[in-house]
Structure 1
Amino acid sequence: MKLIRFGKVGQEKSGVVTEKGKKLDCSAFGSDWTAEFLGKGDSLQALKKWLDSHADECPEIAEGERLGSPVPYPSKIMCVGLNYSLHARESGMDVPKQPVLFMKATSSLSGPFDPIIIPKNSKATDWEVELAIVIGKKASYVSESEAMDHVFGYVLHNDVSERDFQLNHGGQWVKGKSCDSFAPVGPYLVSRDEITDPHDLRLWLKVNGKIMQDSNTSDLVFNVPQLVSYISQYMSLLPGDIISTGTPAGVGMGLKPPTYLKAGDVVELGIDGLGVSRQRVEDWK
């Protein structure tokens, strides 16, 4: 199932995308796609059953309606660095022997078609297409063989990054990852059963119509169950938490010369089965 949230910022309602591509308002179901919903083992079954008898009564969402993040309130956004071998090389770093972890502030979360805001004093705002995992069942000290039982589904994520903040302002990467608008997620949250193999998905990103990243999740250094298991050894993963699994080669920092986003640029990205998102770049005001 494909879950969406739509409406003005802070006033989003719940919805779904049907197999025929219709966007339906499901707010009458009585639940947003919160941690409580995602953490119930039978939530999708209950929603499907409700839709069987109520879909005809659900208003169709207008084509121009804003989509918000399909995951509304994650307790954390965990990210994995250098998780594609070619990206590690273009960054001038060794392929890691253990996952490189960092966090994005949850306040960076935005909708899939919301603008990217270049932050105040930015010199190097960059793009990163990523497959993101959404947790559906609390995970603490889980094994790799158990890990997929804790995955609700997947979303498309642009891990927008300010490289000067990230690398030259001291401390950890979080400074360059957490600016407002730096985590466009969606367009929809796709339940795990719809993705046959998360390790064989094309992912790509364009800037102003030019392909900058074009790869496949088969090139992941650490795969989905490995990441869920590994991270759960250090913290509890809660329903609704997002794990962004890393980006392939082709980021602006790796180009010669390095190339970064500027106001007016348009970033478009997609992953097989997870849809396409698009963000226009604006200066901070």
Structure 2
Amino acid sequence: MKFATYSSEGATYYGAVTDAGLIALNDRFPEWSTLFDAVQADGLGKLAEAAEGRPVTHSDVTYEMVLPNARRILCVGVNFPDRNAEYKDGSAQPKYMSLFPRFASGFTGHDRPLIRPPENQTLDYEGEVAIVIGKGGRRIKQSDAYDHIAALTLCNEGTIRDWVRHAKFNVTQGKNWDKSGAMGPWLVPFTEAAQLDEARIVTRVNGAVRQDDVLSRMMHPIRREIEYISTFMTLEPGDIIVTGTPTGSGARLDPPQYLKPGDVVEVEVDGIGILRNTVEDEAV
């Protein structure tokens, strides 16, 4: 079963996603005001039980960023071998992973527009799998890492490329423009290793494949990401790790092909779904 945050007729809900529509579950769990609260309480199983046999409550909905009040989002950069080669700096596989923070305000939901700001038009796409931590911990061993994942979702880690070059040692300002990226459409509970170990990620722009790779080729696998990150910080339920994007972003094409209004970007992983977004200029 899948779970989403969505709005309908001016109200925001969380609930179960079915082929027929969505089943609001807020009323069944007043102690969990958001889907984030349910994740923190290890409540996805209870949500699934509550949804069984209940009728669809909403069919005309607007998807929101799946965990709009997520407190901590860490992104892993340059995590596929071909992506590392794109930099053409002769560097070998790095010993340690690159990390940077993103904030929930930088993401919108499925079928919503990515926003291109007037200050710069180098809006780029990055299709990725995101994992949601369900069980916290510190210094987590790789052999135990998957036990700490509650759910999976998809991310288009939209980036204003010129703004990642504003400083020598960080990319934060290019990665956090309001609604420049998307996350969703929903959470898929993590139940077996094959959901990640056998996953293929594909990103399309206007129907043309731009990124296509398998997670098993990551230079720093997800087990290692959890181990490494939990070495310096205690992971908490609801934390999100955006695991890395394959080669093929618009900035690395010749010539570069950045996103423009009217474009449609799709990020797809079998077993999780499709995250689809259009592109619009910010209204100022």
Contact 2:68-2:105 at 8 Å conserved across structures: no
C-alpha distance in 2 between matches for 1:195 and 1:22: 28
Give the corresponding residue for 2:153: 155
Give the corresponding residue for 1:17: 17
Q: 1:119: how far off?
A: 1.7
Give the corresponding residue for 2:58: 61
The alignment partner of 1:71 has SS state of: coil
Q: 1:197: how far off?
A: 3.4
* 1:226-262 C-alpha deviation (Å, 9 max, x unpaired): 1011101111222111100110011011111111111
C-alpha distance in 1 between matches for 2:115 and 2:9: 15
C-alpha distance in 2 between matches for 1:263 and 1:5: 26
Matches within 5 A, 1:101-116: 101-116=99-114
Unaligned runs of 5+ in 2: none
163-172 vs 182-191, which moves further: 163-172
Contact 2:23-2:51 at 8 Å conserved across structures: no
CA distance 1:72–1:11, change in 2 (3 Å): farther
Give the corresponding residue for 1:82: 78
Contact 1:266-1:280 at 8 Å conserved across structures: yes
Give the corresponding residue for 1:176: 174
Identity %: 32
Unaligned runs of 5+ in 1: none
C-alpha distance in 2 between matches for 1:248 and 1:47: 33
Q: 1:22: how far off?
A: 4.3
Give the corresponding residue for 2:282: 284
Give the corresponding residue for 1:48: 48
In the superposition, the TM-score normalised over structure 1's length comes to 0.90
C-alpha distance in 1 between matches for 2:21 and 2:122: 38
In the superposition, the TM-score normalised over structure 2's length comes to 0.91
Give the corresponding residue for 2:269: 271
Q: 1:66: how far off?
A: 0.6
Contact 2:109-2:182 at 8 Å conserved across structures: yes
Q: 1:77: how far off?
A: 1.0
The alignment partner of 1:48 has SS state of: helix
Matches within 5 A, 1:88-127: 88-93=84-89, 94=91, 95-127=93-125
Q: Provide the aligned C-alpha RMSD in A.
A: 2.1
31-40 vs 270-279, which moves further: 31-40
Q: Which amino acid aligns with 1:181?
A: K
Give the corresponding residue for 1:37: 38
Q: Which amino acid aligns with 2:48?
A: K
C-alpha distance in 2 between matches for 1:121 and 1:182: 13
C-alpha distance in 1 between matches for 2:190 and 2:27: 24
